[in-house]
Structure 1
Amino acid sequence: GSSDKTIRLWDASSGKQIQSLEGHSNYVTSVQFSPDGNRIVSSSWDKTIRLWDSSSGKQIQSLGGHSDIISSVQFSPNGNRIISSSVDKTIRLWDVSSGKQIQSFGGHSNYVTSVQFSPDGNRIVSSSWDKTIRLWNISSGKQIQSLDGHSDI
């Protein structure tokens, strides 16, 4: 992703650009391929998550729900869900096929900077400017653990 609002796909061996994905209206903050490589998910300062077809470069869906900048997105290990984190202090879980929000996780007291699925896809871990790392159960939506320890520099 980049500040020019585009996502560029490159051929690693030749170094040549293959595609440019356009649709976001502000900085692109996070990009990831789906586990099968058929889709790409991106997030932006424009408060949207966009799903793309990796072969054609066409936008499949635009997901909205966060009220501020989206800092990161990630596909679940099976590719059926997306998790997102935001400056709005929330984490959201999305169904890829319908584009609908499944769950919202609240508990951080400051910007959520990053979120990742566990390898089995049953938990997520989040980090925040509130100086915590939190572990969440996806099925219950409940926080399992909060790890404190980071301090201001």
Structure 2
Amino acid sequence: MCLQFNETLSHPSFPVLITGSYDRTIRVWNLDSGEELHCLKGHTRAVRALQFDEVKLITGSMDNTLKVWDWRRGKCIRTLTGHTEGVVCLNFDSNVLASGSVDSTIKVWNLRTGRGVYIAGAYGLGQLCAAMGFKWEWDLC
């Protein structure tokens, strides 16, 4: 299970919580009312990582994929494939996404094109996920 809460980015009038679960769903919640706004479906295995901003939500799953969502409308925009095992951590900033997988790789994606632009090997899952929390300064053409 995974979740993210961000009161400043969530909604102009109420805070939003987004959760990912072993039941393969992602749920968008209004924290003031407790109402479920959307139940996003599309992954075929557990959702293990997620992050959202004002516009998009990105989820990573044990089905080896990442999905880019319009979380306000509840629609999947794009599916990213390239890992050979489950995705367990991710971090994005603007148009660059990094994803970490049980296959011991970090893959960097250009979100404008949906293409993987770089793959790095990692020594172990702990080091891989710890490396995900930095700010990107790359210029992707």
* TM-score (normalised: structure 1): 0.72
Indicate which of 93, 116, 125 corresponds to 1:111.
Answer: 125
Displacement over 6 Å in runs of 4+: none
Match of 1:27 in 2: 46
Match of 2:37 in 1: 18
Which blocks of at least 5 consecutive residues in structure 1 are unaligned?
A: 123-137, 140-153
Name the one with the larger helix percent.
Answer: 2
Match of 1:69 in 2: 86
Distance 1:26 1:118 in 2: 27
What is the percent sequence identity of the aligned residues? 31
What does residue range 2-151 of structure 1 map to in structure 2 within 5 Å?
Answer: 2-34=21-53, 37-76=54-93, 79-106=94-121, 108-111=122-125, 114=129, 115-119=131-135, 121-122=136-137
Which blocks of at least 5 consecutive residues in structure 2 are unaligned?
A: 1-19
Alpha-carbon displacement from aligned partner over 1:43-73 (angstroms, at most 9, x marks no partner): 0000000000122111000000001111111
* TM-score (normalised: structure 2): 0.77
Alpha-carbon distance, 1:110 to partner: 2.9
Looking at CA atoms only, which structure, 1 or 2, has the larger radius of gyration? 1
> How many residue pairs align between the two structures?
118
Alpha-carbon distance, 1:118 to partner: 2.2
Alpha-carbon distance, 1:109 to partner: 2.8
